[in-house]
Amino acid sequence: MCAHQLALCSLILAAASVWAQSPETTLVVYLGEAADQPAGPVEQMKHELAPLMRSAGYDVEWRNLRGGSREVQSASALIVVELNGTCAPARLQDPIQNSTSLAVTSVADGRVLPFSTVDCTALSRSLSSALSGEVGARRTFLYGRAMARVVAHEFYHVLTGTIDHAVAGVARRCFSVNDLLSERFEFEATTLARLRPEPPRLPAIIEEGSR
């Protein structure tokens, strides 16, 4: 009996170890953008978004919505993101109203759909004053960081299937310019718990033997 229990415990520990070492859940994102979309901010957005989503248990793979293969081999989740307007720092413009939406995710009959749109025109206008003193690569870097946080917010809605918001972090209802550009702005712990994919169930033989 003791030997059997020891073997069972070893099997449970081995299964838990494999799960803990498994890679993140694959999130495939089809990106729709104009052919003349500036590449720098978009690439920086992808770079900044990766650790944000990795903290929630997702490994993001990007696809081009307008060309290339549509085949998805091992996606556990899929989202389509459209970029509207020019995603790049703009010249100094009049301040934008705080209530302006920077992105939206489709909802039908109360169900959140995996289709999000980023309003780069509104984002550029929101950031124009804050980025007016920045130059070159620094401007591109900060703009891409802001884009990543806006996109991550929409991913939160799609992956949790909710239109509700968190009280803080990337899933909060409204962002300030400082939220978009600051060194650290992440998902809070409660949001991460909602976002993380469900772990796989242990084999039935383990569940039966542990009773």
Tens digits of per-residue pLDDT, 126-141?
A: 999 999 989 889 999 9
Residue with tokens 């899929």: 78
Whole-angstrom distance between the N-terminal and C-terminal Cα of the chain? 14
**Residue 174 domain-assigned (yes or no):** yes
Query: Following CA atoms 127, 85, 164, 153 in sequence, which dihedral angle do they give, to the nearest 10 degrees?
Result: -60
**Residue 72 domain-assigned (yes or no):** yes
Q: DSSP letter for 185, please.
A: -
Query: Following CA atoms 121, 112, 152, 140 in sequence, which dihedral angle do they give, to the nearest 10 degrees?
Result: -20
Q: What is the pLDDT of residue 207?
A: 40
Quote the longest CA-to-CA distance of the chain.
77
The domain of 109 spans: 25-197
**Residue 203 domain-assigned (yes or no):** no
Q: Could you tell me the CA-to-CA distances from 187 to 53, 82, 105, 119, 169 in Å, in that order?
A: 9, 23, 18, 22, 5
Mean pLDDT of 107-116: 96
**Residue 15 domain-assigned (yes or no):** no
**Residue 151 domain-assigned (yes or no):** yes
- The tally of domains found in the chain comes to 1
**Residue 6 domain-assigned (yes or no):** no
Tens digits of per-residue pLDDT, 154-181?
A: 999 999 999 999 999 999 999 999 999 9
- Residue 132, C-beta contacts closer than 8 angstroms, at least 6 positions apart: 92
Which pTM value belongs to this model? 0.80
* Enclosing H/E stretch for 79: strand 77-84
Q: What is the CATH number of the domain that holds 145?
A: 3.40.390.10
Confidence of residue 33 (pLDDT cuts 50, 70, 90): very high
Tens digits of per-residue pLDDT, 11-32?
A: 233 333 333 334 579 999 999 9
Strand partners, 29: 62, 79
**Residue 18 domain-assigned (yes or no):** no
